[in-house]
Structure 1
């Protein structure tokens, strides 16, 4: 049984030779935000056609660890063990030299100097690719044709499955895009956080009411940049959002909902996000335009640093009721009182 891995996001192994021909395995590990590598050990087990080659265990004290080997490696099995949690990673056997690799260098003495685009930016230089080229190629053992086909088919299936679970693309498909968002939101168990600088009154019906579990908490992070705007009837988008929330509350059960407003001429958060309690989706456009033009929704691979900043902005932002009280509308408005 392999324990869940809360310590690091990825581990990559590759083979290198130094100028004297000494072989080494180089392990590059990326810890998760706020985590350390203390106590982790990388276990290397090598297999050759003649039997076991190298078996070693080395501490992962640094992000990059170099492991000297007596000869070029064959098939390697890599595992990462934690003294408390047990085995965190087991990649199984893979052949280091199966596909080979190539190194190339382009030498150039020409440098392009680019001036700054604006006074508050810095210029930069680019070394242009030259005509003198040096290339070294090490050929690996080509896998059998049947094995290649099966492997590629497996990779393609995994890619399609990953895409279906973690990214969606819509163009000229507004209805399909909104339907996909509702499907995600409808499955929320505990909490929904919507961060959209252009969130408005119609988005309450468009999204919030799609939640199937009535006791799931809803938080909406809107922006003064949008809520200040006047509508055709002379009211503001802030008033309209509050009115639609009041209407939704009159038709219970309505999820406990709180709206906060990012202040300032420009919202602190530019991108649009949906937090579903265990997964953070980034949306390529606001909900009110989602799927009309080419729009991508994708799962954020490492949501922790993003959520930390979203929570910070949430705590710093006033509630919709407070914001409306500080910005009196041109006509009377009923305060929803969702944040009392």
Structure 2
């Protein structure tokens, strides 16, 4: 007779689990022909239910969000046995169908073919892993790689699909109403923000709670003599015992590792570590002899002091104000509160209030800020730093390899010679977006009498002449466009080099003359996409004509 191990290849994973719940979202294609295409896997998560967890009920019918001619999104929740759920999770992409529930199957939607992209395992199956947490307690520095918010003693497997094309309502950069509705619908029912975690679209995830450990508490007990006890308490699931567990505890003080202890977890789950002085920061790694890593927490400081503040709203004011300075502007309304401090209290005692400790904190924060400024290439040019600013921009153009994009509403003739002649590679594609403002003469002489029509026309002609000078010495593919309509006008100044985008506080024709800032945008790709849309709506320089009305007034 075949052993249970060989008949159930997932026995090591399902030991201690009876049921699993599958959350699945599919794209329902539009019925364009008499025969509708198969459903498409949008995302599925399989959660093994720990001992004591009650299996949820299946909805009376799937949750559906329709998008007219483009199709719909349908979400369902299905309960299966733990073994069948993992077996379904491991099904080959080209053999995948919608999961079949333990009971009350629906003939029209359960077990039907499911279209899916090729799925790859991260980590490699059958390895399960835990998310690496950030040492930033607010998680402001980076988000965990696992998209679910209810993190606990859980190990994960992920199947990520190849790139696929999706309907427009699943456009991650889409700003339309139906895009917002689609992602909010998915986040509500699937508990995943796919705009933040787009790599999970088209894929699957398996969540396996630890069969023994329910939770881990990590706290300290200060003593009157200045010593402290570090307590780490593991709580088991009902009816389970704590066996084969080890705990690696690490401690540190302001960036310096001071201790690293590995101890077995006793049956009662309580690990006590005594220290002769204050414990500044502590982290841990929990492992099992067979299941591997179960939990990782980075080194963090304990909360020892809390400041509370209570404000009382004395008056609520409704403000109505024009949205713009136009005479027939629409009205914008908002509400503001007048608050008064009612009480302020400090609870607990800070571990160290010395001037030396504050110096450590200040220096650490300064290094963090300096590092961020360096990463994003923050540069401040004071007045009378024109030469330094010119060289700074030229240096960036010299390092370009494939593309340069400039969006500056005042880019004009002189900027071609000031910057573009520094480009060293003929293969670089150059796109420049300027505006009709660049051709308006606003110097002191013309301000008194209005714009000089002839000078304005000469500015346009000079730009064409300098462009010809550049093309005479460079073979680059270069195009200049002029924004002069509502759907192409812009204000801010940008340069993009090989896809990396910098924002410039002033135009290239005056940078370094007055104080200004340049800084690389962390996620410049999205900004560049918007700028290219403006560029596509603008007029080629050769087709642009200075409007006669603009020549008569500033």
Same fold (TM over 0.5): yes
Q: What are the within-5 Å matches in structure 2 for residues 69-88 of structure 1?
A: 75-76=282-283
- Residue 226 (structure 1) aligned with residue 448 (structure 2): no
Report the number of matched residues. Answer: 281
Distance 1:295 1:14 in 2: 32
Post-superposition offset of 1:112: 3.3
Find 2:405's aligned residue among 193, 196, 200.
193
Could you say which residue in structure 2 is the equivalent of 1:103?
Answer: 308
Indicate conservation of the 8 Å contact 1:231/1:237, yes or no. Answer: no
Indicate conservation of the 8 Å contact 1:98/1:143, yes or no. Answer: no
Could you say which residue in structure 2 is the equivalent of 1:211?
Answer: 423
Change (3 A) 1:233 1:113: closer
After TM superposition, the structure 1 stretch with the greater mean CA deviation from structure 2, 145-154 or 189-198, is 145-154
Q: What are the within-5 Å matches in structure 2 for residues 147-162 of structure 1?
A: 149-150=359-360, 152-162=362-372
Distance 2:414 2:206 in 1: 51
Distance 1:47 1:158 in 2: 28
Indicate conservation of the 8 Å contact 1:169/1:297, yes or no. Answer: yes
Find 1:287's aligned residue among 499, 508, 531.
508
1:307-328 per-position Cα deviation (integer Å, ceiling 9, x unaligned): 221121122223222335x979
Could you say which residue in structure 2 is the equivalent of 1:128?
Answer: 338
Find 1:168's aligned residue among 373, 379, 385.
379
Change (3 A) 1:234 1:167: closer
Post-superposition offset of 1:129: 1.7
Distance 1:259 1:11 in 2: 47
Post-superposition offset of 1:164: 3.8
- Residue 35 (structure 1) aligned with residue 256 (structure 2): no
Indicate conservation of the 8 Å contact 2:320/2:331, yes or no. Answer: no
Post-superposition offset of 1:116: 1.0
Q: TM-score under structure 2 normalisation?
A: 0.43
Post-superposition offset of 1:181: 1.2
Larger Rg: 2
Distance 2:432 2:206 in 1: 40
Find 2:461's aligned residue among 232, 239, 256.
239
Change (3 A) 1:12 1:95: closer
RMSD (Å), alpha carbons: 4.3
Indicate conservation of the 8 Å contact 2:440/2:456, yes or no. Answer: no
Post-superposition offset of 1:143: 8.6
Distance 2:534 2:347 in 1: 51
1:85-142 per-position Cα deviation (integer Å, ceiling 9, x unaligned): xxxxxx9723242574423221122223333145413132221121423445454544
Post-superposition offset of 1:304: 3.0
Could you say which residue in structure 2 is the equivalent of 1:113?
Answer: 318
Indicate conservation of the 8 Å contact 2:316/2:337, yes or no. Answer: yes
Distance 1:34 1:237 in 2: 48
Indicate conservation of the 8 Å contact 2:439/2:456, yes or no. Answer: no
Partner secondary structure for residue 309 of structure 2: strand
Distance 2:523 2:235 in 1: 33
Indicate conservation of the 8 Å contact 1:191/1:216, yes or no. Answer: yes
Could you say which residue in structure 1 is the equivalent of 2:120?
Answer: none
Find 1:271's aligned residue among 492, 497, 504.
492
Which consecutive unaligned segments of at least 5 residues does structure 1 have?
4-9, 16-24, 57-69, 79-90, 329-340
Partner secondary structure for residue 122 of structure 1: strand
Post-superposition offset of 1:273: 0.3
Could you say which residue in structure 2 is the equivalent of 1:258?
Answer: 479
Change (3 A) 1:253 1:234: closer
Post-superposition offset of 1:35: 2.5
Distance 1:160 1:32 in 2: 30
Higher RCO, Cα 8 Å, sep 6+: 1
Could you say which residue in structure 1 is the equivalent of 2:6?
Answer: none
Could you say which residue in structure 2 is the equivalent of 1:313?
Answer: 534
Post-superposition offset of 1:209: 1.6
Partner secondary structure for residue 527 of structure 2: helix
Distance 2:358 2:235 in 1: 29
